[in-house]
Structure 1
């Protein structure tokens, strides 16, 4: 049995963009009596079944009390067998696994399961996910139902501590699927509700909760993001912050709006493998929309550590195609085109699947890893190649190579850039073409000390290059080619094929609104909100948290239509 997970677009953006509700917009959600009655019925039915613990699983008195508590909160657990209780020394958590006992000969895909993790030596729930085949659906709950059930769950898990959190008005969704060797597949969908931790009445980005609720109101997932040893006394005083209007004036001078074409913009997002209607659009999107230090009014650049720059380049494509139908052909492409040594690699598997959002096309994923994998987990290399199943056209390559992470010398930035340009021109359509090149490199983080980390723990230094085709002089964002170069070796470790779809007719740029009009619309729909943020990277934390003004996102993914100057909100399938 294979299980696949997919997160919604909003959640894919991370908690950075999902924790924006301000204290003045606190959302206190009452739980209707009818929902209490529904939950009581489910609880009574589960209570009639005696809970089962597998032979060999021994619980301490405190663990037994924890089990009884979560049998009350999640009565469906009593229908499953507690199969495993163990601890993770590296993460300081307890792990509990529950499974459903099936008759002999049954398919594993039909078994319900659940996994809970707790902070060591406490009953504080860290994560939870549950997959019950009878609950499978691709429908989403109404916003009202999802919010009510999530709020009730948080209250039951945290008790009075739930008052330290505030519901975020922005919604996301999650989905998963399970399949077996016979081709049977089960899919689940859920709406995700986020809760922000409040410090001085202001959301703190580094500490939040997420709750997944399915169409029937079942709680199917929970995730806690928490910063240990939090001293709220070191947080900046919001009384010393500049006004929102002052911050908005600064932000207005700083932000830029960039035109982009999208060939296939979904009208709404769907779940895994589900086709959705799309249309071509010309949009404005903000660039350099950094946050603003609420005390000094200066821009903050530590919300991420990637620096980017854009330029126009003239390239000459050779029109070469990359094709691979079998694992042997895929390995040949890696050796001849990507110059990889596959002699030390062992083939793992081929996984055939549909695209996450546009389900018409099938794809093959080929996977390799270092043969005779070292016991310590170091010096391992992973290679993944994706193709179109029918044609064999190579679409993507990704390489993780931890064996080179200890090298000191680096290839110069200019040689890396030239390597990316030379590589991509082989696979562009034949002829001369102008493209928009955006290059990304890791910025130095002033407070991060690499000497405090083992070299094996540091990420591979990689430079990324995006090559966007142009239409009427404007980049086409979903037509980009992507190349990643390892800064230590100069090798290509990432590739994604792009290009324009000749069947798509892009809008004419004549009659578009100005960038200033688009900027005004963006600021109207994304007002600045006070937020606390404490930069953290690879286990190291900045000396102190920031109090910042950040744009508040709308509920859903939005863009500004360049022809109308109005915001467009992209919802989810079965959204209300």
Structure 2
């Protein structure tokens, strides 16, 4: 159940250097490269640093197909800090590699090849990819530079690539799986988390390297607190793992693969390691730690109508979108595509800027049962600004036509995407200068409705409804229902929430790291030392029927 998924975009390390570059062609091998570089004295500022030449040689050894890219062009950035190398195949213009080096140090900052260059169809194991990437890092950056980055994190990444030559109204997409390995940048030996600072390497499923990106932060003028001044873990644990931190609930297929009744953490707060206060994970502002506020968790009664949600084709998907959200796919959108990924078949419509908007439906490809549906629209000129209670009524009225008869009594969990925060002085200054993106400021109410069994929520049985408080409209719907009925265990608890809390305090470690607060895209004047859950050993939970702490690896 533990998934290391990370939403990413393709790195464009030096893609722009392929057009309009006033550079010069150089030879393929590093030896010839050095000779040719020396013959162009009038272009001395465009020479590759010696260490960069060595990196090219290492890459050629590690990725032999680069040797076929014999047409090579060097260019320098406008600010004079970077040098770019473009490597092209004279027989195939679509076969190329783009590299970026730091002009002063020769450090490799970026590398990219087209995805189709690396797609062999073969899938390697994480162990193979880990070994290959670790070897590449050591060979390119060496043991000293390796010390500036931490232990790698591995993520599975699935992407769609659209064929731009296709008719935009009915476009085809190719689909592939890749792996990303991220080494976070270290400050005082601790990860700088919550940022893209560090080394990111993307590989194809077969382990072939398709992109490298090194992002080093400029901490000049930024206050960096000393880790020696942090509170002890045990102090924070007593705040982190309180009885109210846990939810008791059924899982149809628990961590052991069978129906289970578990105590699980209901949220993953971030605590300031020097003050012991809960803070916002992005901007670092102090927030209220209301993980089990009765206002945010309610038992409600619905009037289910159980209308079927079956989508067999594009027409059915269009009808669903019109019924749920009032959109006309033929009138409102110019682009359409259909594709299957992660066991879901998606129908999707969209427009591009300035009339940006999209809508889509995903279904079970075998049964046609709807899984999710949603729309993305532009911000309203005159917002209606629904309250929490008004938004909940809107969500309930939206849900009742589709809710199953088993969903008459439910527990709803309410999450407000925009919460009041205590602005610090630097954030106040940012607010004066930055208007920000109005869409980011809209209040989005996220309602998750759980079915109950023996008055206990079944976390696999849910409906999720998002209401935009500004527009007053539902924007997204997702459900796991209907599901085949199975026998769930009786509630015979061998542990209480208090005992679950004690298990965690005694056995589950916290992780100390740095965060760089950001507000409206502006970095704060200081880093923060924070404590978060350390899941390196696995994902902790308490089996409520056996009364034992377990780890999902």
- Please tell me whether the aligned partners of residues 337 and 349 of structure 2 are also in contact (alpha carbons under 8 angstroms): no
Give 1:63 deviation, angstroms.
Answer: 6.1
Say which structure, 1 or 2, has more relative contact order (CA 8 Å, 6+ apart).
1
Radius of gyration: which is bigger? Answer: 2
Quote the residue 1:73 is aligned against.
58
1:196 to 184, 189, 192: 184
Quote the residue 1:542 is aligned against.
524
Give 1:84 deviation, angstroms.
Answer: 9.9
Which consecutive unaligned segments of at least 5 residues does structure 2 have? 9-27, 34-42, 167-171
Quote the residue 2:279 is aligned against.
300
Q: 1:513 to 1:202 in 2, by over 3 A?
A: same
Q: 1:290 to 1:456 in 2, by over 3 A?
A: closer
- Please tell me whether the aligned partners of residues 82 and 96 of structure 1 are also in contact (alpha carbons under 8 angstroms): no
SS in 1 for 2:150: strand
2:150 to 166, 170, 174: 166
Q: TM-score, normalised by structure 2?
A: 0.73
Distance in 2, Cα, partners of 1:139 & 1:352: 24
Quote the residue 2:348 is aligned against.
367
Quote the residue 1:398 is aligned against.
374
Q: Is the aligned partner of 1:316 residue 2:303?
A: yes
1:514 to 485, 489, 496: 496
Q: 1:516-558: CA deviations, max 9, x gaps?
A: 3433443455312321112224412334321122221124555
Give 1:281 deviation, angstroms.
Answer: 3.1
Distance in 1, Cα, partners of 2:89 & 2:505: 51
Quote the residue 1:10 is aligned against.
4
Q: 1:252 to 1:491 in 2, by over 3 A?
A: closer
The structure in which a higher percent of residues are strand is 1
- Please tell me whether the aligned partners of residues 323 and 393 of structure 1 are also in contact (alpha carbons under 8 angstroms): yes
Map residues 398-417 of structure 1 onto 2, 5 A cutoff: 398-402=374-378, 404=379, 407-417=382-392
Q: Is the aligned partner of 1:154 residue 2:141?
A: no
Map residues 98-497 of structure 1 onto 2, 5 A cutoff: 124-126=108-110, 128=112, 131=115, 132-133=117-118, 136-142=121-127, 147-159=130-142, 160-168=144-152, 171-174=154-157, 190=179, 193-205=181-193, 206=195, 207-212=197-202, 219-224=209-214, 226-227=216-217, 229-231=218-220, 234-253=223-242, 256-265=245-254, 278-303=257-282, 309-342=296-329, 344-354=331-341, 356=342, 359=343, 363-370=344-351, 373=352, 377-402=353-378, 404=379, 407-430=382-405, 433-441=408-416, 442-445=418-421, 446=423, 447=427, 449-450=430-431, 452-454=433-435, 456=437, 458-459=439-440, 461=442, 462-497=444-479
Which consecutive unaligned segments of at least 5 residues does structure 1 have? 1-7, 15-45, 52-57, 105-110, 268-277, 571-576
Give 1:261 deviation, angstroms.
Answer: 2.3
Quote the residue 1:551 is aligned against.
533
Q: 1:175 to 1:323 in 2, by over 3 A?
A: closer
RMSD: 4.4
- Please tell me whether the aligned partners of residues 398 and 494 of structure 1 are also in contact (alpha carbons under 8 angstroms): yes
Q: TM-score, normalised by structure 1?
A: 0.70
Give 1:422 deviation, angstroms.
Answer: 0.7
